[in-house]
Amino acid sequence: MTQYDKKILDLYTDYLITSFGQTTATGLSQLLNYTVSHDSITRMLTHSHFDSEDLWKFAKPFIRKIQSPTGIVIIDDCVMEKPHMSENAIVNYHYDHSKGKTVRGINFLTCCYESIYQDSSICLPVQVEVVMKDEKYFDDKHGEYRYRSTKTKNQIYQESLLKFQATQTPYQYIVNDVWYASVENMIFVQKRLNKHFVMPIKTNRQIRIYQEFKKENEKMEFQSVELFDLLEDVTYIIQIKGLPFTVNLIRHIYRNEDGSEGVVHLVTNDQNLRGLDVLKIYQRRWKIEPYHKSLKQNTNLTKSPASKVRTQQNHVLAAVFAYIKLEGLKILSGMNHFAMKAILYVDALKASRSAFERLKLKYI
């Protein structure tokens, strides 16, 4: 955690919420009638180094208000596309699993705390780390120099959970998508954190099914999940190859809006969680998607023209701080982020129209 001007950060995060175009130090200074200089805003963005400790300090009052023993921790990453920006350690090529392809942009991993408060789902980021490809290497296959991160996403996943565990915030489950459903992460959650998880696994994962009171099944060979004729929403006790403990598995068929069907195989180390109750916990993972959407559309995550690594990192964290402000206002007002932004937009249009009327009176 570094020292920074909290007043200027507060002004900047308000600016990210209220702005409808590119967000710059000059723009904020102009908005404040130059009572805060462009240079002081630039210094805050270029010389500070916001990190997860700063984020936790900012989010803590809200977390303490909504925390619950039935809360869950959701981990996911997101790629903010920057196709026209020069490549550097964080603006780089990342695989966007939501699009199924590699895109140029900034990739960041978020650990969110989700809880039900006053009959409303509140999802607050508590750990955020921007993926930095800080190591240059020569790719023999493509015959060119490329960049890679010295820290894997699984390492970031585990470090984020350890940091959050240290806050002593109560929660029940850790939920993530298939990209983080490795044996190492499952062992980490159970052994290191002593917590329960709900994760999907790929159909090619090697498993064997245990039937209670039939020890001969321990001699069964591991096979791909897809080779088993599994009933829908029935709980199976299985062992995943390489995992030293058994988990519960359910197979669920979901229907898409276009009428197509998909299949998800969910596993949990909570032996008491069975059937559709496993699915209910996993479905709470989707609460992180509105977080990603709101960052891009309501806190101007993508609207900074900054080109330096430090400034870009700080802008990402500042946008997350702004999101927390909106989520706090959501608790107080009962309005969602988009409803609040719509009010700001209408007020901005009214102010713009009034300014234009004054121009007409002056010059026409």
Q: What is the CATH number of domain 49-333?
A: 3.90.350.10
CA atoms within 13 A on the CB side of 256: 7
Whether the predicted pLDDT of 39 surpasses 70: yes
Q: How far apart are CA 73 and CA 170, in angstroms?
A: 10
pLDDT for 327 equals 94
Q: What's the longest Cα–Cα distance across the chain?
A: 93
What's the chain's average pLDDT?
A: 91
Whether the predicted pLDDT of 68 surpasses 90: yes
pLDDT for 1 equals 45
Whether the predicted pLDDT of 219 surpasses 70: no
Could you tell me the CA-to-CA distances from 156 to 31, 144, 310 in Å, in that order? Answer: 38, 27, 19
Token readout for 124 is 């607050």
Q: Of the segments 23-32, 191-200, 247-256, which one has the largest average pLDDT value? A: 191-200
**Arithmetic mean of pLDDT, 251-263:** 85
Q: How far apart are CA 70 and CA 173, in angstroms?
A: 8
Nearest to 14 by CA among 31, 34, 38, 39: 31
pLDDT for 144 equals 80
- The pLDDT tens digits of the residues spanning 284-293 come to 999 999 999 9
Q: How far apart are CA 147 and CA 107, in angstroms?
A: 14
